């Protein structure tokens, strides 16, 4: 009885450890990555950023079919540079972070369009609403460091962000542009 249990434990440890190493190899380096949004408020472009996000991008040019990306953004880390506004967007009208603390992107497929141009297709989930999106990506490689960057326009009202009286797009435009620069380090 004792041996199978120890063996199972060993297998568990090895799997967990290799999963950890594997994840670390392709995981996002938060310090050198950035996710920013820009929107227009009565014609005024306003920017904000997310300070906390995680995920991984597996991308090997030799095996593009296996490429995949997974990104989780902590919506509570929204930072527009003003505490009152940061608190406001946590509310039900906006992100409703008590119910939906995270936004996620999960790729279904990644295509190479050129030497440094990629296209990811997948699901964007915000506030419980899911949308199939196509993201154009520019890839820069610097040794073991890969930087995936691009921008993606989304419609905030599709995700019910800024509900009620905020649905007025004269005050707050429907379009929100997500700009990202995601770095992974395969060397570490």
Partner 1 sequence: MTMQREKYTATAMLLHWLLALLIISAFFLGLTMTNMPGITPTKLKYFNWHKWLGVTILALAFIRALWRLSHKAPPLPATIPRWQHYVSAATHLALYVLMFAVPLSGYFYSLAAGFKVVYLGLFPLPVLIDPNPTLKPILKATHYWLTMGMAALVVMHVGAALKHHFWDRDTVLLRMLPGRKKLPG
Assigned token pair, 79: 């930072």
Q: Between residues 80 and 125, which has the closer beta carbon with respect to partner 1? A: 80
Using CA atoms, how far apart are residues 104 and 168, in angstroms rounded to an integer?
Answer: 26
CB of 52 to partner 1, least distance (A): 19
**82/175 with CB nearer partner 1:** 82
Rounded-to-10 torsion of CA 128, 134, 136, 142: 60
Neighbours of 57 (CB within 10 A): 24
Residue of 1, 62, 84, 115 interacting with partner 1 (CB under 8 A) = 84
Question: Given the rule CB under 8 A, which of 8-16, 43-51, 53-61, 130-138 is the region that contacts partner 1?
Answer: 43-51
Which parts of 136-175 interact with partner 1 (CB under 8 A)? 165-166, 168, 171-172
H-helix segments, the chain: 2-26, 83-88
Binding mask 86-125 toward partner 1 (x if CB under 8 A, else -) reads --x-------------------------------------
Residues 168, 174: Cα–Cα separation, whole Å: 9
d(CA 163, CA 158): 10
Least distance from partner 1 to the Cβ atom of residue 152, Å: 22
Which residues of this protein are in contact with partner 1, per CB under 8 A?
A: 41-47, 80-82, 84-85, 88, 165-166, 168, 171-172
């Amino acid at each position: 009885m004792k041996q199978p249990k120890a063996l199972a434990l060993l297998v568990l440890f090895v799997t967990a450890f290799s999963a950890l190493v594997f994840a670390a190899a392709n995981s996002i380096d938060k310090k050198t990555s950035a996710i920013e949004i820009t929107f227009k408020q009565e014609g005024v472009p306003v920017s904000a950023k997310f300070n906390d996000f995680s995920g991984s991008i597996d991308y090997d040019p030799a095996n593009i079919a296996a490429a995949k990306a997974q990104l989780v953004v902590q919506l509570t880390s929204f930072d527009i540079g003003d505490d009152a506004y940061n608190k406001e967007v946590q509310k039900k009208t906006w992100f409703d972070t008590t119910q939906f603390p995270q936004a996620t992107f999960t790729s279904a497929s990644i295509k190479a369009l050129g030497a440094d141009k990629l296209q990811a297709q997948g699901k964007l989930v915000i506030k419980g609403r899911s949308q199939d999106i196509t993201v154009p990506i520019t890839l820069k490689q610097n040794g073991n460091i890969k930087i995936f960057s691009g921008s993606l326009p989304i419609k905030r009202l599709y995700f019910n962000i800024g509900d009620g009286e905020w649905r007025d797009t004269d005050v707050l435009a429907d379009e929100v542009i997500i700009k990202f620069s995601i770095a992974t380090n395969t060397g570490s």
